[in-house]
């Protein structure tokens, strides 16, 4: 970090400390994301993710720490909106300047895209984010964790030249999948792409279940510290697997992550049984919203896909109360799609009867 950047960072720190000491000056309320990111690498607005915000922030902090260890520093923020700026990209550019941050800063909002500022050009980052279909990820924290893995680059070292070869290698790695198709894999290539999309969707829904169980357990009253560490380890593993699933270029590479997802689920099942929390073994979606396990715990009865007696989350209950028909999240299978619950059945299944 240059001397000037360090000074700027100190200035931001002092300004925010002053703002805090003065007790929230009503005229110019400090941007909570700027305050948080001046001293940490992750921020999730409680106004976007409610009670899940601190657990999601912990996931993002783990992800940022892992990237920092690879010398690919990022700062990540889920915000309510671009406070005082015309667009999320303009807001992100200003925030990066305020923080004097030289790594990659990524910002997203509920239901919005991802804005990023860093050593890579905005155009290049936009292309990469689009290729990784980051915009299709519904959960903002997960969207950001995935985006970070896609665009973060190693910082230049003192002579300023080291990240280029590294980026070239990364680019060659990304091209790997493309070459296979270009070199006449033909129909096999198309089949493999469909398989890849299918495996990714299955992994994603199982990862959503893993995250929802972990967040549920993190909020379990009186969770002892040593058990909390297991839950945090599972969340850290989750963030890591999400990034690897996004970077995986073959169906086998995605399938290889299954064992690690199972490991995380086993860890959580262990914690649940030791502390007496509900977390039945056998069905990884048990206890979660029947519309989408990523929503979290099912707390009310609801009618899903026309079938009564399902358990749904508060948001889905509210949607149903306003007359919306609830239908279960679908995952691609063969030429069509099946309800996500099919993914939770028979985890040992080897051949795959659905294709």
- Which residue number, 53 or 300, has a Cβ lying nearer to Zn ion? 300
To Zn ion, the closest distance from the beta carbon of 141 in angstroms equals 17
Spatial distance between the Cα atoms of 99 and 34, rounded to a whole number of angstroms: 7
Spatial distance between the Cα atoms of 53 and 310, rounded to a whole number of angstroms: 26
- Which residue number, 92 or 328, has a Cβ lying nearer to Zn ion? 328
- Give me the residues that bind Zn ion (CB under 5 A), please: 289, 291, 295, 313, 316
To Zn ion, the closest distance from the beta carbon of 298 in angstroms equals 7
To Zn ion, the closest distance from the beta carbon of 296 in angstroms equals 7
To Zn ion, the closest distance from the beta carbon of 313 in angstroms equals 3
- Which residue number, 83 or 138, has a Cβ lying nearer to Zn ion? 138
The token pair at 71 is: 């010398």
Cβ pair 61, 82 in contact under 8 A? no
- Which residue number, 198 or 292, has a Cβ lying nearer to Zn ion? 292
To Zn ion, the closest distance from the beta carbon of 212 in angstroms equals 10
Spatial distance between the Cα atoms of 15 and 30, rounded to a whole number of angstroms: 9
- Which residue number, 216 or 237, has a Cβ lying nearer to Zn ion? 216
Spatial distance between the Cα atoms of 341 and 290, rounded to a whole number of angstroms: 8
To Zn ion, the closest distance from the beta carbon of 308 in angstroms equals 16
To Zn ion, the closest distance from the beta carbon of 301 in angstroms equals 13
Cβ pair 82, 90 in contact under 8 A? yes
Annotate 160-190 with b (16+ C-beta within 10 A) or e (fewer).
Answer: eeebeeeeeebeeeeeebeeeeeeeeeeebe
- Which residue number, 91 or 340, has a Cβ lying nearer to Zn ion? 340
Spatial distance between the Cα atoms of 102 and 160, rounded to a whole number of angstroms: 13
266 phi/psi in degrees, rounded to 5 = -65, -45
- Which residue number, 251 or 298, has a Cβ lying nearer to Zn ion? 298
175 bridge partner residues: none
Q: Report which of 207, 213, 245, 143 is spatially closest to residue 340, judged by C-alpha positions.
A: 207
């Amino acid at each position: 970090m240059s001397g000037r950047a360090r000074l700027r960072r100190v200035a931001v720190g002092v300004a925010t400390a002053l703002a805090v000491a003065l007790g929230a000056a009503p005229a110019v309320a400090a941007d909570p994301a700027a305050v948080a990111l001046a001293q940490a690498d992750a921020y999730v607005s409680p106004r976007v993710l409610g009670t899940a915000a601190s657990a999601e922030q912990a996931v993002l902090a783990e992800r940022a720490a892992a990237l920092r260890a690879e010398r690919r520093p990022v700062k990540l923020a889920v915000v309510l909106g671009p406070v005082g700026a015309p667009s999320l990209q303009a807001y992100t550019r200003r925030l990066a300047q305020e923080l004097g941050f030289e790594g990659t800063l990524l910002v997203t909002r509920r239901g919005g895209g991802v804005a990023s500022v860093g050593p890579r050009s905005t155009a290049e980052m936009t292309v990469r984010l689009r290729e990784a279909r980051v915009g299709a990820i519904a959960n903002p924290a997960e969207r950001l964790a995935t985006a970070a893995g896609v665009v973060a680059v190693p910082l230049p070292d003192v002579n300023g030249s080291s990240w280029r070869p590294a980026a070239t290698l990364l680019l060659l790695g990304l091209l790997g999948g493309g070459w296979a198709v270009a070199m006449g894999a033909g129909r096999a290539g198309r089949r493999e792409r469909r398989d890849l999309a299918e495996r990714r969707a299955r992994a994603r829904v199982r990862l959503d279940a893993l995250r929802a169980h972990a967040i549920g357990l993190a909020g379990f009253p009186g969770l002892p510290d040593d058990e909390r560490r297991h839950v945090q380890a599972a969340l850290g593993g989750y963030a890591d697997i999400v990034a690897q699933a996004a970077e995986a270029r073959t169906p086998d590479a995605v399938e290889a992550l299954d064992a690690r997802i199972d490991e995380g689920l086993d860890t959580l099942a262990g914690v649940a049984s030791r502390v007496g929390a509900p977390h039945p073994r056998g069905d990884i979606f048990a206890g979660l919203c029947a519309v989408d396990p990523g929503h979290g715990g099912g707390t009310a009865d609801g009618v899903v896909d026309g079938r009564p007696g399902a358990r749904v989350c508060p948001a889905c209950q509210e949607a149903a109360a306003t007359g919306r028909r609830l239908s279960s999240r679908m995952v691609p299978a063969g030429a069509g799609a099946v309800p996500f619950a099919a993914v939770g059945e028979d985890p040992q299944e080897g051949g795959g009867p659905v294709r």
